[in-house]
Structure 1
Amino acid sequence: MAKLTKQAFMRLSNPKFIMLFLIFWLGLLLSSNHTLSELADYILFTFLGTLGAIFANSTGAGGGVVFIPMFTQLNFTEQQSISTSFAIQCFGMTAGGVTWWHHYKTEKTDLRLWQGFKRIIGVTTIASMIGLSITYFYQINSPAALHTSFSWFSLLLGFFIILTVYLLQPHRERSQLYYLDYIALVLIGLFGGAITAWLSVGVGELLVIYLLLRHFDISMAVAAAVIVSAITVWTAIAQVSNEVYWQVVLFAGPGAVLGGIFAKTLVAHLSATKLKLFFACWLLLSGGVGII
Structure 2
Amino acid sequence: MISFFKRQTGKLIVVLLLFIWCGLWLAQPAPIELVKEFGLFSGLGVIGAIFANATGAGGGVVFVPFFNYLSFSPQSVVATSFAIQCCGMTAGALTWAAYYKRQHKYDGYWQALPSALMLTIPSSICGIGFAQYSSQSKLLLEHLWGGANNLHIAFGSFSILLAIAIFASIPLMKRTHFIKELQTKDLVFLPFIGFLGGIITAWLSVGVGELVAVYLIIRGFNVTMSIAVAVILSAFTVWSALPYHAFINPSVVWQVVLFAGAGAIIGGMIAKYVVLAFSVQRLKLFFGMWVLILGVTSLPIL
Please report the TM-score for the alignment, with normalisation by the length of structure 2: 0.87
Q: State the 1:269 CA deviation.
A: 1.0
Cα 1:169–1:21 shift into 2, 3 Å:
closer
Which residue number corresponds to residue 254 of structure 1? 262
Which residue number corresponds to residue 209 of structure 2? 204
Which residue number corresponds to residue 184 of structure 2? 179
Q: Is the 8 A contact 2:116 2:190 kept in 1?
A: yes
Which residue number corresponds to residue 127 of structure 2? 131
Cα 1:248–1:168 shift into 2, 3 Å:
closer
Q: Is the 8 A contact 2:173 2:281 kept in 1?
A: no
Give 2:195's match in structure 1, choosing from 190, 194, 198.
190
Q: State the 1:28 CA deviation.
A: 6.7
Give 1:65's match in structure 2, choosing from 54, 61, 71.
61
The residue type equivalent to 1:280 in the other structure is G
Unaligned 5+ segments in structure 2 are: none
- CA distance in 1 between partners of 2:31 and 2:288 (Å): 39
Q: Secondary structure at the match of 2:267?
A: helix
CA RMSD of aligned residues (A): 2.6
The residue type equivalent to 2:159 in the other structure is S
Q: State the 1:71 CA deviation.
A: 0.6
Which residue number corresponds to residue 163 of structure 2? 158
Which residue number corresponds to residue 56 of structure 1? 52
Q: Is the 8 A contact 1:50 1:252 kept in 2?
A: yes
- Percent sequence identity over aligned pairs: 42
Q: State the 1:40 CA deviation.
A: 2.5
Deviation readout 1:21-49 (Å, 9 max, x if unpaired): 77995797478433756523311111111
Q: Is the 8 A contact 1:171 1:215 kept in 2?
A: no
1:25-64 superposed matches below 5 A: 29=25, 32-34=28-30, 36=32, 38-64=34-60
Q: Secondary structure at the match of 1:243?
A: coil
Which residue number corresponds to residue 232 of structure 1? 237
The residue type equivalent to 1:290 in the other structure is S
Please report the TM-score for the alignment, with normalisation by the length of structure 1: 0.90
The residue type equivalent to 1:228 in the other structure is L
Which residue number corresponds to residue 118 of structure 1? 114
Q: Secondary structure at the match of 2:94?
A: helix
Deviation readout 1:29-85 (Å, 9 max, x if unpaired): 478433756523311111111111111011111110110001101111111110111
Q: State the 1:9 CA deviation.
A: 4.3
- CA distance in 2 between partners of 1:254 and 1:113 (Å): 33
Which residue number corresponds to residue 11 of structure 1? 11
Q: Is the 8 A contact 2:128 2:201 kept in 1?
A: yes
Deviation readout 1:119-162 (Å, 9 max, x if unpaired): 10111001101111112221313221210000111111112221
Q: Is the 8 A contact 2:194 2:208 kept in 1?
A: yes
Give 2:87's match in structure 1, choosing from 84, 91, 96.
91
Deviates more, 1:219-228 or 1:167-176: 167-176
Cα 1:88–1:175 shift into 2, 3 Å:
same
Give 2:252's match in structure 1, choosing from 244, 250, 254.
244
- CA distance in 1 between partners of 2:204 and 2:4 (Å): 39
- CA distance in 1 between partners of 2:27 and 2:242 (Å): 28
Q: Is the 8 A contact 1:131 1:191 kept in 2?
A: yes
Cα 1:96–1:169 shift into 2, 3 Å:
closer
Cα 1:6–1:279 shift into 2, 3 Å:
farther
Q: State the 1:7 CA deviation.
A: 1.5
- CA distance in 2 between partners of 1:132 and 1:104 (Å): 27
Deviation readout 1:72-106 (Å, 9 max, x if unpaired): 01111111110111111111101111111111111
Q: Does 1:213 align with 2:218?
A: yes
Q: State the 1:258 CA deviation.
A: 0.7
Which residue number corresponds to residue 269 of structure 1? 277
Which residue number corresponds to residue 80 of structure 1? 76
